[in-house]
Amino acid sequence: MKTLAKIAEGFISLFQAGGENLVGLITGILPTLIVLITFVNALIKIIGEDKVQRVAQRATKNVFSRYIILPFISVFFLTNPMCYTFGKFLKEKYKPAFYDAAVSFVHPITGLFPHANSAELFVYLGIAQGIQKLGYSQGDLAIRYFVVGLIVIFIRGITTEFITNKMLSKKQV
């Protein structure tokens, strides 16, 4: 009987932990995210969705701005996970590649701009602590991490765009 009671307690504790996590989200990131979404949408309405759309369309004609500048701006200003909403301003054929670039950049930006993805800060700080114990500079790590991140998101953006174009061309045949 004790074994069954322990199994039942373990089963219930799993759901209690899930409930605690949900409460943490509801009192933590969700209100911030809702206010941020509301602010960005209000700003777009004030400026005019057509104007924002035109500027974004012009900005995304260049492959460098599409997969380096736009992901950087979106992650820096809107942070993770709101940064992905910038993709709504791109043409459909660029959306998968933009998402890939943006999602790949939410970690490398953390060393220089911790606000962009504070949930991942513990990972970066763990790596940085090891680097410091080896006698290297945390600042150098942050810069290198950031630069390599920009290179990687550019490569991922181009690669995903290529794959998307191949898949779309096969779909139309």
pLDDT digits (tens, 9 = 90+) for 28-48: 767 776 777 788 778 888 988
**Cβ–Cβ contacts within 10 Å for residue 67, how many?**
29
**Average confidence (pLDDT) over 17-30:** 77
Name the 3-class secondary structure at 136.
coil
What does the pLDDT read at residue 173? 56
85 exposure class (CB count in 10 Å sphere: 0-12, 13-18, 19+) = middle
| pTM > 0.85 | no
Question: What six digits make up the tokens of 22?
Answer: 């949900």
Name the residue among 171, 111, 114 with its Cα closest to residue 147: 111
Q: Which two tokens stand for residue 118?
A: 């504070």
Label residue 172 by pLDDT band (50, 70, 90).
Answer: low
pLDDT-based confidence at 112, cuts 50/70/90?
confident
- Indicate the range of 6-10, 33-37, 139-143 predicted with least confidence: 33-37
Asked if 90 and 60 count as a contact pair (C-beta separation under 8 A), the reply is: yes
What is the C-alpha to C-alpha distance for residues 47 and 157, in angstroms, rounded to an integer? 28
Q: Within 13 A of 90's CA, how many CA atoms are on the CB side?
A: 23
Q: Given a cut of 60, is residue 13 above it in pLDDT?
A: yes
